[in-house]
Amino acid sequence: MTLSAAIEATTGLSLIAFPSVIGRLLLGAGLADSGVAVARLTGIALLCLALACWPSGDDATQPTVRALFSYNLLAALYLGYLRIGGGFVSYLLLPAFVVHALLALLLLRPAHARAEEKK
């Protein structure tokens, strides 16, 4: 949980501060003015997600585990699509896909276990 939240917080802050640089590194393409605005808004959302999901103490709640699992799974699927079907090629796209896929796999068991505890 902490690793995933820290990565999202770092990405969010990077998107807020350097949206064009992150866009070029991640997607290999520049951002228009509207893309910069959307990237910064996305950065704000990622930062808020990270803050909301940051574990307090030794325990993370079921909604936060589920939120980070869902985000990482969907991010991995979309980044994989961009690389394979979307025609985007860049230095960070494949590593970003791998990181999100690994985080989703790491969060799968806790997300499932916490859902089972509720039953």
Q: What is the C-alpha end-to-end distance of the chain, expressed in Å?
A: 22
Q: Which of 20-29, 55-64, 81-90 has the highest mean pLDDT?
A: 20-29
- For residue 118, count other CB atoms closer than 10 A to its CB: 6
| Residue 70 tokens, joined | 């869902």
Model confidence pLDDT, tens digit, residues 83-104: 888 778 888 889 999 999 999 9
pTM here is: 0.81
Count: domains in the chain: 1
**For a pLDDT cut of 70, what percent of the chain falls above it?**
92
> Is the pLDDT reported for residue 62 higher than 90?
no
Domain, as residue range, for 61:
2-118
> Is the pLDDT reported for residue 11 higher than 80?
yes
10 Å CB burial of residue 88 (0-12, 13-18, 19+) is: middle
In Å, how far are 7, 28, 98 from 105, measured between CA atoms? 15, 27, 10
> Is the pLDDT reported for residue 57 higher than 80?
no
> Is the pLDDT reported for residue 115 higher than 70?
no
| Residue 104 tokens, joined | 């989703």
Helix, strand and coil in the chain, % to nearest 5: 80, 0, 20
